[in-house]
Structure 1
């Protein structure tokens, strides 16, 4: 597990990863997180790790943590699979790890949020949601797509107002500078754009919520209505907050119990069973030009007939 800790102690990510790992029956759970300038990990992260049964904690962060988990060192064990979000460098390092026999949950990070809104939306709510993701890091991206120019203007004003009182203003400000407020003519255009973008978090605040719920195909997690802030998903609504970014929601789901499981298949065929399906196997193998495949069945059928 990779737990970010550079500018905020994300103990909630420990819960999001270690709890399903425990339920899945993982026998060894290794946690890597960057220490502070004193060489210490945040007590919140340590407490959550202890609460969730993490078996090993290593004070290391960034791409070096991913490299250690991939190849193994004297102090970092090599693992089967790496989970957790990170900045753009950690995300690329995880993708490179897959070239060396280590699986990953998904490319996860930097943070993204897209809100779709119309004239019925609450501008203050939308601004607060956009800022809740912008404060994650300077490389976060937040986007508002709206069919109302009036809402776009009101949200822009609200962002400026709410930004002033944030302790992490400097971080959020840089993220907002790289973000977009986009006007579209109608909901159909908006939905097409959103499915192409594939946001990590997708908030719907319109009079046509069902249109988006029915039509969304590519998103990590969807938040419906004025009273479903994205931060609820980060902490307590029951969904997992480790989600695909950079458009990877087109191919990946967020972390869930299945992420910590794999399946094996078993088969045992009786004499009668082989007599029943043997000819089918022979015909298919012959059609594919794989004579040895066919012979492995034919030699047995010959003894049975």
Structure 2
């Protein structure tokens, strides 16, 4: 964070009277993020083309050039010995935490799969529905630039396993500053899920490999996973190669709506929770109580000061520069702010969150009450935690089993219903100039039998 702006000096924005520029600052997460610059786009396009044309050699060169890790081609795929070593390196409490987290995510997504296929009879003679099936292959990207994230793999891989995807490939960025090592907890999570096809790679190059294929990495039909701006740029670029990419996972953001029933210390802790992710994250507290907003400042300042670096700087920037405190004059105005912001994570820290819930239209996840915390959602509840950010919650949803399913519409029409619909078919067929369409009706007329 630059300058001398501190969390203790957090501005309180009155939404009803705030200038357009101040509203924009909040909604834009601290500024205008115009997206991927032309220079980065051009550089990433070169990496994608290099991997497409040179395959494994380009993957090795990208690791050497960008990550300063010199590995042979044989070292791209994580070996069985590395899986064994990872298990030995991870403590039993962490292994149990990984297993519990997987079980929670599995249970949530099994409910989604159970409801994915359906049939209904809207009127006599007509049956309609959908039949869901898993996509054939997916590549999952797990970052490691700001830390190691086994929880990311759990959140994006468990739904794919539950959905029944035949081939699940994991592409992991090696631990920075090492010799190509992959976070052992991430490997433990992969093994617990039965995933053995795991590769280490530079981020953009790995995305390119998943999309185009190399001698070692067979291409996939879809790519899922969050990453840096360079990884996001690569994900956008490889769609030119015909690979579908689940987009919208950028810097994390969170918004809390609170009333005067909320505990101030808990509010501060939950606000900082997502703010510590990075200097490009953002965290906003909206309240219908000025006293809550004024009172939470001191707790935020105190709790942020207790964080180690770089998390302390990340949190200060995320709250004081990219986020802030917003006063709303009513429940309706508070939720208008929330919906305009469309947060990745929304917590309703109010006395009766169920009453507020119908007003929450756009959020990656909605957490009801102060016991339903962001951290619990990220690690333990089982609901999705890889979620749309930067306002994408207005048009997309988090990663669940639905992300890995395709649905075929199914219909059955009996003779009486066909004859009822026949005039609709012939009228539209004649208007649009399709005589063969109309003939499918006339050939079934009784006098043509």
C-alpha displacement of 1:253: 1.7
TM-score (norm 2): 0.62
Task: Name the SS for the 2:174 alignment partner.
Answer: coil
Question: 1:149 maps to which residue?
Answer: 290
Structure 1 position 257, deviation (Å): 1.4
Mapped to 2, the partners of 1:263 and 1:127 lie a distance apart of 43
Match of 1:20 in 2: 159
Counting only pairs closer than 5 Å after superposition, residues 176-215 of structure 1 correspond to structure 2 as: 176=319, 177-215=321-359
Q: Distance in 1 between matches of 2:192 and 2:401?
A: 18
User: What is the aligned partner in structure 2 of residue 82 from structure 1?
Assistant: 223
In structure 1, the partner of 2:377 is: 233
For each residue in 1:4-37, what CA deviation from the matched residue of structure 2 results, as whole angstroms up to 9, or x when unmatched? 2112211012111222211111111111121022
- Deviations 1:115-158 (Å, cap 9, x if unpaired)? 11122211211111121111112211111111222222222221
- Aligned twin of 2:17: none
- Contact 1:28 1:55 (8 Å CA) reproduced: no
Match of 2:171? 32
Q: Is the 8 A contact 1:274 1:301 kept in 2?
A: no
How is 1:1-305 mapped onto 2 (pairs within 5 angstroms)? Answer: 1-36=140-175, 37-38=177-178, 39-167=180-308, 168-176=311-319, 177-265=321-409, 278=422, 280-298=424-442, 304-305=448-449
Deviation (angstroms), 1:55: 3.6
How big is each residue's C-alpha offset from its partner over 1:133-192, in whole Å with a ceiling of 9 and x where there is no partner?
Answer: 111122111111112222222222212111122233233333233222112222211111
Task: Give the SS at the match of 1:114.
Answer: strand
> Shift in Å at residue 74 of structure 1?
3.1
78-87 or 196-205, which moves further after superposition? 78-87
Deviation at 1:194, TM superposition (A): 1.0
Aligned length: 305
- Bigger mean CA offset, 229-238 vs 115-124: 115-124
- Unmatched tracts of structure 2, length 5 or more: 1-139
Q: TM-score, normalised by structure 1?
A: 0.89
Q: How much has 1:274 moved relative to structure 2?
A: 6.6
Contact 1:95 1:104 in 2 (8 A): yes
1:88-123 deviation per Cα after TM superposition (whole angstroms, max 9, x unaligned): 443344344444422233411211100111222112
Larger CA deviation: 184-193 vs 67-76: 67-76
Equivalent residues of 2:349, 2:370 under 8 A apart: yes
Structure with more relative contact order (C-alpha pairs < 8 Å, separation 6 or more): 2
Q: 1:245 to 1:68 in 2, by over 3 A?
A: same
Distance in 2 of aligned mates of 1:219 and 1:163: 26
Q: CA separation in 2, counterparts of 1:152 and 1:259?
A: 38
Q: Root-mean-square deviation (CA), in Å?
A: 2.5
